[in-house]
Each structure stands twice: as structure tokens, then as C-alpha cells.
Amino acid sequence: MKHFLHYFALDKSALKPKTPPFSKPIQNMKPHLFPIILTLGCALTACLAEDITTLDGQKYLDVRDVALKHDGLFFVTGAGDSLRGVTVPYTNLPEDIKEKYHCDPFEIGMTFARQNQAVYLNKNLAFSLDNLDAAKKKAQAEKKMIGFIMEWDSMLVPAHPMKRGSQSGLAHFYDVFKDGLVLVFVRHENELGKVPPAVSQGFNGPEEGGFAPNMAVTTADCSEFVCEIPFGGKDSDGEIREQIFRQKIAVMRKFAKEHNAAQ
């Protein structure tokens, strides 16, 4: 074996495997090239980073590591001691930024709902009708519509959004709409006669279908009815409801576009 290795080392160069010029190990690179490569890498990183200015005028520098969250667009901003993570609500982002990062709270909600994780439904997940003024204030501040969800207190239990049954339907409504709308729970037991007229228009409309939960959507000040989102019938499950939700989200977007154009 020793003689074979010696022979191979002394053999003609044509028999040696040829190494491409750029395949040399990095440790053989001349030391003065490292600063150049490091500088180019830093310059490339700087080019990839960007600045984001929100609708309220806040400017974030050197934005990177952008991710979609349930409650807004998350990113890392700054450098060194000023490095921090920030979550900006989707309603506080300019349209070009929302389009660039596909910031659609309804789509994010539907994607999350498909994971079918249990939602621990309780009264604190939405505004009550007694706190309607606070709900209006939040909706107006965040430029959102209000979704009034008709529910029975018996539905306020842990439920999986993609399954059948009223509890699952309420979990599905919550997952999909909690970030795109301001939600208000309306107790079927004793509050149906206390809602604003625009809400009654939905709860008593032809699409209600006799099943709860269902949702009436209004403008932020509750002055105009936008649409009714029904439960989808006694056999409703997550797939059936998602198709209904998509249709009604399109109605809401059309209404918002026309409403904004009229102002």
C-alpha cells in the first residue's frame, strides 16, 4: 500500500483530478480578501433592510425578520443597543406595505382556524353590549367595522373551530374575525331587543337562517348595516363556513372601498 501511494503521488499530472479555480478551501484565501468580503456582506444586508413608516407617522429603521402575526406585522428594527422587536397592527400600515407582506387579517385568521386548535370561549374575548361605546371608540380608532355575534351562553366553552356544532361555529367566527373586526357578543337570552337598528337589520334578515352563532356587521359608529354572516345551516362545519366567510369578506371590502371613496 505504501508503494502504491508513493507511485500515485509521482504519477503524471494528467492523471490527477483537476480542481476548478474557485474550489480552493477558504483557508487558502489571501488574508487581505476577508475585509473586502465582510464589507460586501454588510452592504448587502443593509440593502435588504428597509424602513417602514406607519399611518400614525412612526418610522422604523433597518426593518428585517418580518413575520405575520395574528395581531399585526412583526419585525425587528434598529441595531446594537436599540435592536428590538415590534408588532404594528395591520390597520396602522400603509397599503403598499400590507400588499408587500400580504397582510390580510382575515386570511391569517382563516389559516390559523384551519389548524383547529381549541378556543377557550368566554365573555372576555369580545366586548359586551353594555360596553358598546368602548367598542365603537376602538373601531373608529382602528378604522374597523364592528361584528355583532349572536350567541347563547351555553356556547362559551372550549371548542375547535373546524368542527360541527354551535360552539365550534363561535370559535370559528372568533378566530377568523377577531383581528379584522371589533367583536361584540350579543346574548340571545336577553339582548336581541337592545341592539342598534343596523344590527337588528342583520339579525332579522333573510340570511340569518335560524341558527346561532351568526354575525351582523356594521360601520364603526353602528349607523349602517354592512352584511349578515350566517352560521351555514345545521350541517355547517369549518369548510362550509370558510366559503361563507370569504363571500362576506368580499362584501365588506367592497362596502369599505365605496364608503371611503364617498368621503
Is 191 a domain residue? yes
Q: Rounded to a whole number, what is the distance in angstroms from the first to the last CA of the chain?
A: 90
Do both 152 and 194 map to the same domain?
A: yes
122-131: average pLDDT: 97
6 located within any domain: no
151-206 pLDDT, tens digit per residue, is 999 999 999 999 999 999 999 999 999 989 999 999 999 999 999 999 999 999 88
Structural domain contains residue 135: yes
Query: What's the domain count of the chain?
Result: 2
Say whether both 23 and 145 belong to one domain: no
- Per-residue pLDDT, 79: 84
**Does residue 101 form part of some domain?**
no
Residues 229 and 111 in one domain: yes
- More confident call, 44 vs 239: 239
Q: Are residues 52 and 116 in the same domain?
A: no
Residue 8 falls within a domain, yes or no? Answer: no
46 and 122 part of one domain: no
Same domain, 81 and 111: no
Q: Could you tell me if 126 and 238 lie in one domain?
A: yes
The DSSP-derived string for 2-70 is: HHHHHHHHHS-GGGSPPPPTT-S-GGGS-TTHHHHHHHHHHHHHHHH-EEEE-TTS-EEEEEEEEEEET
Q: Are 112 and 173 in contact (CB under 8 A)?
A: no
What residues make up the domain containing 50?
Answer: 16-85
- Asked whether residue 65 falls in the same domain as residue 120, the answer is no
Span 233-253, pLDDT tens digits: 999 999 999 999 999 999 999
Backbone angles phi, psi at 190, to 5 degrees: -150, 15
Q: Are 133 and 190 contacting, i.e. CB atoms less than 8 angstroms apart?
A: no
Q: Are residues 233 and 196 in the same domain?
A: yes
* pLDDT mean over 87-106: 86
Residues 126 and 249 in one domain: yes
